[in-house]
Structure 1
Amino acid sequence: MSTYTAEIAWALKPGEDFAKGRYGRGHSIAFDGGVTVPGSASPHVVGKWAVAEAVDPEEMLVAALSACHMLTFLHRARLAGFTVAAYRDRAEGVMAEIAPGRQAVTRVTLHPEIAWTGAAPDPEALAGLHHAAHEECFIANSVRTEVVVA
């Protein structure tokens, strides 16, 4: 079993009014490898109280699914005898209402663009590699969100 940690830190700033909801949602997210990134609630959720330049939880979920799929795909492609020269994805998550007053990221669509060195897999083999990557991706196995490779 493995354990993963992240430390989230937020503090009320002078002049903000917590009781009235008038406070910044900006915070820091420190990962166990030493990287710290600015975090915030999504501007779609809290408007002006968000930090647009920071990463929000919904974006992190989409990025985690995309990165996990990519890393697993690279492994599966290598095992199948293919060589990937570059991999790029423009992943997109969709938030939808799942019950009155409840929302969730219900669908994440991956749009991988892959450059190959040497022989590239045919469409059927490529689909098989993506399927295997999806089945093995730890993050995809951890969520109920529909994950689609376009």
Structure 2
Amino acid sequence: MTRQHTYPTVVTWTGNQGTGTSRYNAYARDHELAAEGPPPIQGSSDPSFRGDPSRWNPEQLLVGALSQCHMLSYLHKCAVSGVVVTGYIDRAVGTMAETADGGHFTEVVLRPEVTVTAQEMAETALKLHEDAHAACFIASSVNFPVRHEPVIRVAGQDDA
């Protein structure tokens, strides 16, 4: 049996500066992304496209969603495999190519730095990134590569 999930959101444009879209440079790209429950996210377009750099843009949100999904899948895989993770940070980067008819992402690279409690967990912790990628709903929904460059550290051991 297939289960379906829905994720309703509301995007409200807040960038009308008095004349609407009368000209390309007459309006702000500002908007608000909302859903029932969490606080709204203040959004805009990428600054390259006249957006407000103090607000989230859709490209950042996509990279963030991929990073979040991978982390959540990974932590689950670790928990059920006996790998104790005590720290996780990912400095992900997405690359988009702008083309004459718009643009598209060419790849996202996730760079999770994971801390585990024991050396004997390190090899499994590294391998579980592949399983997490396969389980990530967002990664399996995009049409560009999502690569991983994980680093595994053991708590209490120096990097030297």
Q: Could you state the TM-score of these two structures normalised by the residue count of structure 2? A: 0.83
Query: Who is 1:66 aligned against?
Result: 67
Where does the alignment leave 5 or more consecutive residues of structure 2 unmatched? 150-160
Query: Who is 1:31 aligned against?
Result: 35
The offset of 1:118, in angstroms, is 3.2
Identity of aligned residues (%): 36
Within the alignment, does 1:20 sit opposite 2:20 as a pair?
no
The offset of 1:115, in angstroms, is 1.1
Output the amino acid matched with 1:147.
V
Question: How many aligned residue pairs are there?
Answer: 145
| 1:50-89 → structure 2 map (5 Å cutoff) | 50-89=51-90
Q: Is the Cα contact below 8 Å between 1:65 and 1:140 reproduced in 2? A: yes
The offset of 1:17, in angstroms, is 5.2
SS of the equivalent of 1:19 reads coil
Distance, in Å, in 2 between the alignment partners of 1:84 and 1:12 is 43
Q: Is the Cα contact below 8 Å between 2:110 and 2:148 reproduced in 1? A: yes
Within the alignment, does 1:130 sit opposite 2:119 as a pair?
no
SS of the equivalent of 1:104 reads strand
SS of the equivalent of 1:121 reads helix
> Which among 2, 7, 21 is matched to residue 5 of structure 2?
2
Distance, in Å, in 1 between the alignment partners of 2:90 and 2:77 is 17
Q: Is the Cα contact below 8 Å between 1:82 and 1:119 reproduced in 2? A: no
Q: Is the Cα contact below 8 Å between 2:83 and 2:125 reproduced in 1? A: no
Q: Is the Cα contact below 8 Å between 2:10 and 2:35 reproduced in 1? A: yes
The structure-2 alpha-carbon separation of the partners of 1:83 and 1:23, relative to structure 1 and needing over 3 Å to count, comes to same
The structure-2 alpha-carbon separation of the partners of 1:116 and 1:41, relative to structure 1 and needing over 3 Å to count, comes to same
RMSD (Å) for aligned C-alpha atoms? 1.7
Distance, in Å, in 1 between the alignment partners of 2:17 and 2:119 is 60
Query: Who is 1:146 aligned against?
Result: 145
1:26-70 per-position Cα deviation (integer Å, ceiling 9, x unaligned): 0111122232010011112x13xx111111000000000000000
Query: Who is 1:115 aligned against?
Result: 115
Distance, in Å, in 1 between the alignment partners of 2:106 and 2:147 is 11
Q: Is the Cα contact below 8 Å between 2:17 and 2:28 reproduced in 1? A: no
Distance, in Å, in 2 between the alignment partners of 1:23 and 1:89 is 35
Distance, in Å, in 2 between the alignment partners of 1:130 and 1:57 is 25
The offset of 1:96, in angstroms, is 1.3
Where does the alignment leave 5 or more consecutive residues of structure 1 unmatched? none
Q: Could you state the TM-score of these two structures normalised by the residue count of structure 1? A: 0.88
The structure-2 alpha-carbon separation of the partners of 1:59 and 1:120, relative to structure 1 and needing over 3 Å to count, comes to farther
Output the amino acid matched with 1:117.
T
